[in-house]
Each structure stands twice: as C-alpha cells, then as structure tokens.
Structure 1
Amino acid sequence: MKKIFIVIIVLFFIAVAATVVYFLGDFNRGNLSADKTPEATATPSDPNIKKYTNTELGFSFEYPARYGEVNIEILVGGKAGGQTGEKLTGTFSQQEQLEFGGITDDFSAGRSGLLTDTRGFLEKNGNYYFKFVAAKPVEDYEVLPKEIITKDFGKILILDDQSFEGERYGVEGPVLGVGAGRLAALVNLKNSKFPGLVFYNWDVQEIPLAEFKAIINSLNVF
C-alpha cells in the first residue's frame, strides 16, 4: 500500500512539472496566435503569386511564390526581442533578403536599434516621422520618403539610404537608417498591439525596386 502511495506522489509531481514547463514555453513564444502563422495560398489569377493574410494582425499582401512560406514569430521581452515588450518578425522560407517587423508600444531593446524596431510613422504638418521605441522622441526621426504610395487605408512610405538624416549627412557611429543598396516600406496598422510594420529589402540586386513595389502595392490593412 505504501509503495502505491509513493508511486502516486511521484506521478503527481511529474505532471505538475510538465505543466509548468509547457506554460513557460508558451509564454516565451508569445501569446498571440500569430505564432501559428497562417499559410499563404496561391492566388486564383496567377499560381506564381501567393497571398498571405493575417486576420489577427489585420494585414495581407501578395508575393512571388518562389519566396516560399511566410513565418511569423513574436519575441517576448527578456528574450532576443528585447528587455520589455514584444517584437514581431516575419521572414520567408526561400528568400532571406526580405523581412518585415514591428514592435509594441512598451518595447525596449537591450541593444542598438534596428529598422524593424518600429511602431509605424507619424504624419505631422506635412512631415513624416519614424516611430521608434516610445522612449525616443518621435521628432528625432524625421524621414524623407523616396516615394509615397496612397491606398484606401492610408499611406505607405518607401524609404532608401537618403531618407534618414544620419545617412544623408554621413554621421559617424551607429545611426538608424536603411543602408546603401537597400529599400524599406513603412506602414501603419489598425492593430492596437502592433501599430506599424516595416518591410525591409536587404538587397535591391536580389529583389529589384519593381518587384519590391509590386509586393508593397498589394499590401492591404484592415
């Protein structure tokens, strides 16, 4: 009888430990179901084009099918995403030169800032400002768009290596910018958690302007 009781106690503690490990792991991955990335589907009009739709975050876009699948990860504070808040990162399984990302309003990073550390942009008095981490004054990051695309849901800013002041004037040291031979597209979302995204093209030789703009022009925010 005593042996049966001991076995029951051991099994109970094993079950409790497994439950704790599961929930801790789930927390570190983030609580948004965006972690379970919706699968992109081929468009009926062109099998060489896929459409990715994320109803939870409120956006969709089309891209060349050869890019593979879209993968989204939510990085939670205390991990690679930063010290506090959350960061969304989106990548493509067969195209490493394109990514997209955004951050929550309470995000702060324990490192130098990245272009994907964005909350979208602010338009004020005809000027445009990159919304970096909330601790940084938005007026410090005015941008001069290479091009502005106007959609039903708002504007998309196309940025290049002349868009940020630090890059334009060759400021020494780490500066926030796009980088030579690269492009970016900045858009505001209607999602309260992730208010904005940037699509970052790391290599215009690999993804030319026309191809990048076709992806960005297909973007829809809802």
Structure 2
Amino acid sequence: MNKNLPRVLAIILLITLPNLSFGQAPALGTAASYAVFTNAGAFNNLGATDITGDIGTHVGAFSGFPPGTVTGQTHVADATSAQVMSDVFTAYSALAAISCSPNLVTPLTSMTLTPGVYCTTTGNTSWVGNLTLNAQGNPNALFIIKTGGALSTAASSNIVLVNGASASNVYFRVNGAVELGAGSTFYGTIIAEGAIEMLEGAFLQGRVLSTAGAISLHNNRITSLSASACNCPH
C-alpha cells in the first residue's frame, strides 16, 4: 500500500468538505440583476425610495415610481418578467432542497454565525439586534438561512458582515412573508414564498424576490448586488 495514500485522502477531504458542509449558492439566472421582484403580486412604493438595480412584477399592479426612482430596468408582465419568474422559482426550489445543520432556535437575538446552512424548525422567525456573519477570512464563505415560516426583523436591527463576509454570498429562503423593520440594515438575497415589505427607511444591499406576494416599499434605499458601488451604512 502506498504510504502516502492516507495523506492524499486527507487533502482531498479538506478540499471537498466545505462544499459538502455549506451547500452551494443557487443559480439566479436572469433574476441576478434584480433588486426587487415578485412573480405574482402588486408592487407598490410610498415615498422617495431609491433603487439601483432592476425591478418588476410578472402579475400585478405596479405603482409608486415616481416618486420613487430606479437606476435600472423595470419589467411588468412582459417576456422578460416571465423568464425572471421562472428563474426565481428555480432558485427557491434549489435553496429548499439544501439540507441544514445546525438548526437555529427562534426568536433570534444578537448572535454571530460562521459559514454554513442554517434552518429554523419552528414557525415564524424574528430577530432583534445584530446578526453578525463572520467569514473567518474566506471571501467565498457562504451563508444560507432557511426559515420554517415568515421572517421579520426588528426596527434598527442589522446584518453585520465581518472578516471578509460578502452580501453576494448570503441567502435567505423564507417559507412565508418578509418584513424588514424600520431603519434596519440587511445584506444578502431573500427569496420568499410570500409578501415582502420594507418598513420606513430600511436599507438593503442585495435582492428581495418573491414567488408569490405583494411588494411594499416605504422610503427605502436598495442597491442590487450587480451594482458597481454601494453607499452602505456600515
């Protein structure tokens, strides 16, 4: 037996283990350039919301722009939105199929997570304070959080990215509606199976995508992950 074989096998295991443990980011297809989109639901904005990125709905009324402003494309009930709708469904299904370890206990209070795939096994998920995502020096570190029900964040709550964590590698699969609290800061992509509301002054660098549900915005600042720059709070 080759005496170096155990060492070779150990190296292979170390290389492949992160992929086995942490899952794989879903392919977003045409949805990648979108900041806000719903497959089926009204899309409404109140106030001076500023969005950098594409927006739209495939089925539903669209209103509030102006006074809201968009640097990007808007697609409503056209061939482009039909393809985005399909890609949102595909991405949601891909995230739903990923197994979880460990599970999170709700409600969430201020905590720090390292790279991995996390699930909440109970119903609705809420958090207060800061959710810190620590990439441990790995710029490719992936964070996937899957909720068993709706997701809500408290007013002035934040996602904080540290040690190389990137909003491009943060994904939330929400089995229900989403409410981002007033004055809160959120980084990453949310793909939800329900309505999405960003309360007064909430900030997002990432995407909010819904398979079915209304979109409600209130004086928000949203920067898609395809934007070249982000005037982020912190």
* Same fold, judged at TM 0.5 (above): no
More strand by share: 2
Q: What's the TM-score, normalizing by structure 2?
A: 0.29
TM-score for the superposition, normalised by structure 1: 0.30
More RCO (CA 8 Å, sep 6+): 2
- Say which structure is richer in helix: 1
